[in-house]
Structures are given as structure tokens and as C-alpha cells.
Chains A and B, each alone.
Chain A
């Protein structure tokens, strides 16, 4: 006989809220990518304003988990799910912040001469960041540890793209120096979103196996 029905509904609801929050983050990543690639200052302002929605959702999920821990003392799989939701929620919030930073950097660099090759690279990085976020959330939803581990390979691609950016900025030389420095930070933000997606994948792995572990060591 199923017991504690309202508790399990609450927990499922929290997980659903997290998935909805990830949709907001995906919109934010797309907006951030679009505004930096198009040098679109108005869109940048929208992305910045939109982050309050993500933060609001993050706070709600956090309060929900707090209440659940206080009132229901979840254990075993329920406890692992509550913790996975809590941690993944923070990673999503960080992703939103990275998007905000990209938007702010876009505004700072708006009047400087851009480099098309780097902008094309950012479109690719943005798409990869979106893809990784989708894969991370799907792995959590489907309790799919193998899918979660596939994020490591995806992260490798975004890391490589990030490493190429510095070289390109050096090639550009003095005329694009300030723009280039700002774009190194943009690139770093995309790369961090990828890392956050891997972190969510690690939560999937914890949820499934019960073991806390990093997919890779700090040297990566």
C-alpha cells in the first residue's frame, strides 16, 4: 500500500519545478548567445532582467526542499532526490548568472570593433551549452547515469573551444584588444555553463548510485 502520498507528490512537484526552471535557463542561454553574437544591447538588457525570474524560481525550489527536509525527513532514494534537486537548483542558478555576465560584457563591448570568427565560435559554444543543459536535465529526469556521463565528452568540446579563444584574441592584436579581453570572459562564461551541466550530471549519478563522485579530477 502506497503511504505518505502527499509527501511524494510534494517531492515530485519540486522535481517538476526544477525542470521548469531549466527551461528558463535554456531561454537565458539562447538570449545570451544571441545578444553577444549579434552585439544586441537591447536583448542584453532583457537577458539581465530575465535572471530575476530564474532567481525567483531558485528560491522557491530551495524553500520547498527546506520545508520538505524539516517536515518529512526523507530517507534513502527520497533523500537523494531531495539533495539532487537542491544542488542542481544551485547549478541552474549559477548558469543563469553566467548568462547575465555574458549580457553585461556584451553591453561593455558594444561600441568596440568585433571579430566575426570569434562571434561564430560563440554561437557554437552557446549551442553546446544549451545541448549540455538539456542532456543534464534529461539524465536527471530519466535517472540515466550513462547519459549523465556522456556530458564529459560534450564538456571536452566546449573546453577546447574556450582554449582557442585566447589564441584568436592574441592574433587580433592591439586594434581589438579591449573587445578581445571582454570576449575571453564571455568564452569563460560559456565554458562554466558546461561545467555546471556536468555538475548536474554528477547529481544524476549520485541519485542513481548513492555515491558522491566527481566525473573527472581537478586536472580537467
Chain B
């Protein structure tokens, strides 16, 4: 995605089981199978609920017991009981919160190791947000979840460990560098952070 931003540059490595994800030899399809993604705005395919979930497994050739795989993914995403009789309906007819859980189920269907969630609840009402957060608590036993959130209370509620990222702007304004300010257990970040910039941010003293 960064490649689409003019002037964006990435230095360093992102290691996944020792493999640099930015290396030229990496197969993007394999990366996407192991690292699922859920975005800010629910983005189901304009297909049936069933086909949304089955899409990934079909592409990857995981065709054995597809019905079972779809059901397991929907159960894991706490959606099965609500839509079990409507699997052939168009996914776009679901509510926003249901659509987002469908997207989580879609990510789970290919059994990844890691799920990246980019502001997964920011477009949802408070009750749907709570359901997503409850779901994260259930899923974290089986998956590594990385969530990006601008809602600090959400980070405090759902995360075991929290990283605070900020931006450093060069004096002449020519460059803006993203930086990792602090990374620690969540309880430490929200009671007694080590870095003054984290303290200032979480207490709202700068924004």
C-alpha cells in the first residue's frame, strides 16, 4: 500500500518468523494467507455471505469441506447464529457491525497466524464496537491480533501490549518520519509510561 503514496519510503525490515516481508522474493499471496486484514470500513464483496467467506479458501485451493470451513469461520466471528439461515443472501444487506464481523470471518477462513485490524470499530456504533472488542478477546488465544486504533480507551481495553507511534517532522518540513515512541505492556503505558511523549499523548496534553 505504501508503494502507492508518492515519496513514501520504507527503511529497515519487518520480520515474520525471521522472514523479511519487504524482501523481493516474498510471495504476496502467501503473506496474505498467513496475515489476514480487516479494514476501517467494512468491505464485504458484493456477493452472498457464503461466497464472501468461501472466496479466500477457493483462491487458495482449500476446497475440502468448504461448508464446514465457512461455518467455523462464521462461528469464530460470533456471526453464525445470526445469519445461518441467510447464507445465500447478499452480504451488503447486513448491518455495519455484522458486515465487519463478516470481514473478520473472511480473514479467519484461511486460518492465518496474524490478523491486522486497522481501526476495525471506528465506523461502528458502541454496541457493535463492544461485540468486535469481545470477539478480539476470544480470538487472541488463537491468533496474534495487531490493531491500529486512535481510540486510546480501546487500546487500553483490548490490547495486552501497546505501541505508541508518532511522527517527527524535520525542521524545514521537508520530511515526516513515523517513529515508534514506546512499546510496553498496556497497563504500564496507561498508568506510568516511560516516555514523556507517551504521557503527554495519552493524557491529552498534546494532540
Q: Which residues of A contact B (CB under 8 A)?
A: 1-4, 7-8, 73-80, 209-210
B199 at the interface (CB under 8 A from A): yes
Evaluate contact between B207 and A210: CB separation under 8 angstroms. Answer: no
Q: Which residue in A1, A75, A209 is a CB contact (below 8 Å) of B206? A: A1
B39 at the interface (CB under 8 A from A): no
The 3 closest A-B pairs by CB, nearest first: A210-B192, A4-B204, A3-B204
Given contacts A210-B191, A210-B192, are A77 and B204 in contact (CB under 8 A)? no
Contact with A along B194-206 (1 / 0, CB 8 A): 0000110011111
Evaluate contact between B206 and A2: CB separation under 8 angstroms. Answer: yes
Kindly provide the distance from the CB of B188 to the nearest chain A CB, expressed in whole angstroms.
8
Contacts of A79 in B (CB 8 A): 190-191
B156 at the interface (CB under 8 A from A): yes
Which A-chain residue is minimally distant from B198 (CB atoms)? A76
Contacts of B206 in A (CB 8 A): 1-3
Contacts of B152 in A (CB 8 A): 75
User: Is the contact region of chain B dominated by helix, strand, or loop, or is it mixed?
Assistant: helix
Evaluate contact between A2 and B156: CB separation under 8 angstroms. Answer: no
Evaluate contact between B207 and A1: CB separation under 8 angstroms. Answer: yes
Q: Which residue in A1, A2, A8, A76 is a CB contact (below 8 Å) of B202? A: A76
A-B contact pairs, 30 of them (CB 8 A): A1-B206, A1-B207, A2-B206, A3-B205, A3-B206, A3-B207, A4-B203, A4-B204, A4-B205, A8-B204, A74-B203, A75-B152, A75-B190, A75-B191, A75-B203, A76-B189, A76-B190, A76-B192, A76-B193, A76-B198, A77-B199, A77-B203, A78-B203, A79-B190, A79-B191, A80-B191, A80-B192, A209-B192, A210-B191, A210-B192
Residues facing A in B68-96 (CB within 8 A) are: none
Evaluate contact between B204 and A7: CB separation under 8 angstroms. Answer: yes
Which A-chain residue is minimally distant from B206 (CB atoms)? A1
B20 at the interface (CB under 8 A from A): no
Contacts of A75 in B (CB 8 A): 152, 156, 190-191, 202-203
Docked Cα-Cα span, A210 to B198, in Å, equals 15
Contacts of B198 in A (CB 8 A): 76
Kindly provide the distance from the CB of A11 to the nearest chain B CB, expressed in whole angstroms.
10
Kindly provide the distance from the CB of A219 to the nearest chain B CB, expressed in whole angstroms.
29
Docked Cα-Cα span, A81 to B110, in Å, equals 47
Contacts of B207 in A (CB 8 A): 1, 3
Docked Cα-Cα span, A77 to B206, in Å, equals 14
Kindly provide the distance from the CB of A202 to the nearest chain B CB, expressed in whole angstroms.
16
Docked Cα-Cα span, A78 to B192, in Å, equals 10
Contacts of A78 in B (CB 8 A): 203
Contacts of A2 in B (CB 8 A): 205-206
Which A-chain residue is minimally distant from B207 (CB atoms)? A3
Residues facing A in B130-153 (CB within 8 A) are: 152-153
Docked Cα-Cα span, A148 to B189, in Å, equals 25
Kindly provide the distance from the CB of B131 to the nearest chain A CB, expressed in whole angstroms.
21
Docked Cα-Cα span, A174 to B25, in Å, equals 98
Which B-chain residue is minimally distant from A11 (CB atoms)? B203
Which B-chain residue is minimally distant from A79 (CB atoms)? B191
Given contacts A4-B205, A210-B191, 18 further A-B contacts (CB under 8 A): A1-B207, A2-B205, A3-B204, A4-B203, A4-B204, A8-B204, A73-B153, A74-B203, A75-B156, A75-B191, A76-B189, A76-B191, A76-B192, A76-B198, A76-B199, A78-B203, A79-B190, A210-B192
Which A-chain residue is minimally distant from B194 (CB atoms)? A210
